[in-house]
Each structure stands twice: as C-alpha cells, then as structure tokens.
C-alpha cells in the first residue's frame, strides 16, 4: 500500500498534514490509531506510516520515544534502515524538551534525568537489534552504575536488567535472559505508568515468551493476562500476541473454555490482517475448530 493512502487509512491524510484539521489530531489519538492497526495485523500500513517524515509530530520528542518503542517491540517487522534513522532521531531528543508532553499522564517525579534514562535505554535497544552489542553493552553498564531516581524505586535496576536480558538473548543465552527478567521488580507508582520505560510491558512480554519455552507456564499465563487487560498504551502493542498465547496456554492446560475464549478473541482481532499473518490465523482457526468439536462430544 502506498504511503500516501496509508495516512488516509490511519485517519491522518498525508495531503492534510499542514492543515488545521491535521493539527487538531492529538498525539494520543494518532498513537491509538497506530496501535489499533498493530492489534489488527495491518502492519503494512504501520510501516508506511513510520517511514513518512512529513507526518505531524515526526520531530516531537514524545513521538520519537514512542516510535522507538514500536520499532524495538519486535511485534512489527521493520527494515534496518528505520532503526538506523531512529538512532539519529534519539540523539536529537533533548531530555528537557521531552518534559513538554501532550498526551502522557506523568507523575511529577518524571525529571529530565529520567527522560535521559528513557532515551538512552531506547538507544541501547535499537543498537541490540542492529547487532551492535558492544555499543549497547556500554550503555547498559552506564545505566546499571547510574543513580536511583526519586519516586521511581526500582526503575534504574529494572531498566538495566531488561537490557541485560536483551543482550543475553541476542547472544543466544535464553536461560540467562530469563533469569535476568525474573529479577525485575517493577516497583513504580501506578501514576507513573504512562510510559513504556516505567510500565515495562516489553520486558514482561519477553519474560512470558521465555517462561513458555523454558520455564513455568503459570507465570507466563499471569504475565499475558496482565498485558491482555492492561491499561497502558504499550500493553495494547502486545494485545494480539497475548490473546494468541493465552489460547495456547489454556489449551495445553486442558482449560477448553478459556482456550476457546482467547482463541476467538485473537481471530476476531486478525480478521482484516495482512497476508503475512494468514498462516498464523489459519492455525488458530484450526485449533478453535478442534476445541469446539471436542466440546460438542
């Protein structure tokens, strides 16, 4: 799909970017539209939106941070060129300017120092996905040796452990990554949970995946359930994934009713998904059919 029509489908017509109508769209509204497309598997539209440098908010520090989160979520596959471009955009994020926020409800302890931590963590995660592990490790060590932030309890330690887990995973050490993720405490005030860095959904989702493969399905289920019902925008980023995983976990546990519930939800989300997701949706439909057939016996 052409980038010009992508903006229209998202409700942000490219032709109207400079008009008052486009300016009236809040950052949060745009974020919600993008997240809706991610949930529904319309990732081609999202990729077209992300490459468009003429759209509203492209240089906004808040948007740069949120787009970095989208790029490193591993939910939407993107070209490495987008990751390289994001490094430059992150370098231009001024932590003081970042405080001028439009849609994030933040606790008053969100300071320029915390904004700098947020930016540096995003940069490290981009570097990991580009295979530049030593550079990312340097950032991770600096964060690990940094100060504790007033009002954010375990935030610095959580961010350092999450980055350590991603570095271990990138090096092929899944068990080490899971151990690091299990040490994250997430002791952050609920009023500060408007940001990906404070809410930690990516780390929770990564731990849930590794628990499913290597560990205990019980914490995996609890983690996915929290994401599926979570209030934060970054929970929505993983909403479809959470529903699919919960369906499989329930089926493996012999909970047919829950398996049907979660699998039906996943299929409904993906009805208009891109062709790249057709196989995944068809497998879910086959599982649902088998579950219903067993239920009818």
Q: Which residue has the higher pLDDT, 13 or 121?
A: 121
pLDDT for 159 equals: 94
Instruction: Say what the pLDDT of residue 11 is.
Output: 39
HSE toward the beta carbon, residue 102, CA cutoff 13 A: 15
175: its two tokens: 């068990």
**Taking Cα atoms as reference points, which of 90, 144, 92, 94 lies closest to residue 120?**
90
Residues 64-87 have a mean pLDDT of 94
- Kindly report, residue by residue over 32-72, the tens digit of the pLDDT: 889 999 999 999 999 999 999 988 778 888 889 889 999 99
Mean pLDDT along residues 184-193:
62
Signed CA dihedral, 219, 210, 228, 237: sign only: positive
The 10s digit of each residue's pLDDT in 249-288 is 999 999 999 999 999 999 999 999 999 999 999 999 999 9
Q: Are 159 and 123 in contact (CB under 8 A)?
A: no
Which residue's structure tokens are 């439909």?
285
pLDDT score at 26: 65
Confidence category of residue 113, pLDDT binned at 50, 70, 90:
confident
Rg, the chain, Cα only: 20
> What is the residue extent of each domain of the chain?
200-296
What is the chain's mean pLDDT, rounded? 85
228: tokens are 């599926």
CB 224 within 8 A of CB 206: no
Q: What average pLDDT does the segment 15-20 reach?
A: 34
Give the model's pLDDT for residue 102: 54
Give the distance, in angstroms, between the CA of residue 154 and the centroid of all CA atoms in the same chain.
20
> Helices 61-72 and 112-129: crossing angle, nearest 10°?
40
């Amino acid at each position: 799909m052409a980038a010009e029509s992508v903006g229209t489908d998202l409700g942000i017509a490219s032709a109207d970017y400079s008009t008052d109508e486009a300016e009236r769209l809040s950052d949060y509204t745009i974020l919600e539209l993008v997240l809706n497309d991610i949930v529904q598997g319309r990732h081609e539209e999202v990729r077209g939106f992300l490459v468009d440098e003429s759209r509203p908010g492209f240089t906004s520090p808040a948007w740069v941070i949120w787009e970095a989160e989208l790029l490193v979520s591993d939910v939407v596959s993107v070209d490495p060129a987008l990751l390289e471009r994001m490094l430059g955009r992150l370098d231009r994020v001024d932590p003081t300017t970042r405080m001028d926020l439009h849609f994030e409800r933040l606790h008053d302890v969100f300071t320029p120092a915390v904004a700098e931590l947020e930016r540096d963590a995003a940069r490290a995660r981009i570097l990991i996905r580009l295979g530049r592990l030593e550079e990312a490790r340097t950032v991770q060590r600096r964060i690990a040796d940094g100060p504790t932030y007033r009002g954010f309890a375990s935030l610095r330690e959580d961010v350092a452990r999450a980055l350590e887990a991603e570095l271990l995973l990138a090096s092929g050490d899944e068990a080490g990554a899971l151990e690091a993720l299990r040490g994250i405490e997430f002791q952050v005030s609920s009023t500060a949970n408007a940001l990906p860095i404070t809410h930690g959904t990516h780390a929770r989702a990564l731990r849930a995946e590794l628990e499913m493969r290597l560990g205990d399905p019980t914490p995996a289920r609890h983690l996915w359930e929290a994401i599926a019902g979570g209030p934060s925008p970054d929970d929505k980023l993983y909403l479809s994934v959470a529903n699919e995983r919960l369906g499989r976990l329930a089926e493996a546990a012999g909970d047919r009713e829950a398996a049907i519930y979660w699998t039906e939800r996943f299929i409904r989300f993906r009805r208009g998904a891109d062709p790249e997701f057709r196989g995944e949706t068809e497998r879910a439909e086959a599982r649902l059919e088998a579950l219903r057939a067993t239920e009818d016996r």
